[in-house]
Amino acid sequence: MSKAPIPQCIGIIMDGNRRFAKEENKDPWEGHRAGAETLKTVVSAAQEKGIRHLIFYTLSTENWKRDPKEVEFLLALLKEFFTAYLPEAIEKGTRIRIAGQKERFPEDVQAVFSDAEERTKNAASLTVWFALSYGGRAEILQAVNALVRAGVEEVSEEMFEARLWTAGMPDPDLIIRTGGEIRLSNFLPWQSVYSELFFTDTYWPAFTKDEFHSILEAYASRARRFGR
């Protein structure tokens, strides 16, 4: 009996943090803190399954428009998370990559990102991508502009993909969105053209290892034809 197929790359839209906090009668940012713990749980579960790439939609280009106090908290939480998570990532052989407009972050946060990427660059077990100040349209435009500046007249898919923020990441086999919304919200529009999509009503902080495993089982039952 053959083993069920394991996705090589999974994208996750972590939605529902604020609604989770509201239902728990907590401040919105406490939902983000709970969501950070869920992220670590899912990374561990993916590593156990032999998945090679995970990409989390962590902060979109549109999220900068939120209440300044919430944005301030998110920046502090990112710095706190990467600082605390780095030793665990190194121990478990997890590589950390950042995809997005890193230059939009304060210098101290950029430094934390760079340190995490540098100190895990030789890890080979699992690569965890964090889409930060990420928007799919912005990603495509910056890749096009990079090709224009390079004077390229005829573009291949390979040349274009090499200039994306996710260069080096396989296209996601599977994209999961929590929180009950049924859309991709500007997440990986180029890379997701043949991704299998799963939507769950579960808020991200309440998403469990068991539900992740159930989605992997459902994924294994789908026939992927890639247009053939």
Q: Express each pLDDT in 16-30 by its tens digit.
A: 999 999 999 998 889
Distance CA 107, CA 43 (A): 27
The answer to whether residues 51 and 126 touch, using CB atoms and an 8 Å cutoff, is yes
Distance CA 146, CA 172 (A): 24
Which residues are the active-site residues?
15, 63
Prediction pTM value: 0.95
Side-chain-side CA neighbours of residue 51 (13 Å): 25
Instruction: For residue 54, give the amino acid letter.
Output: L
The answer to whether residues 114 and 143 touch, using CB atoms and an 8 Å cutoff, is no
Residue 1 has pLDDT above 60, yes or no: no
Q: Note the pLDDT of residue 2.
A: 42
3-class secondary structure, 129: strand
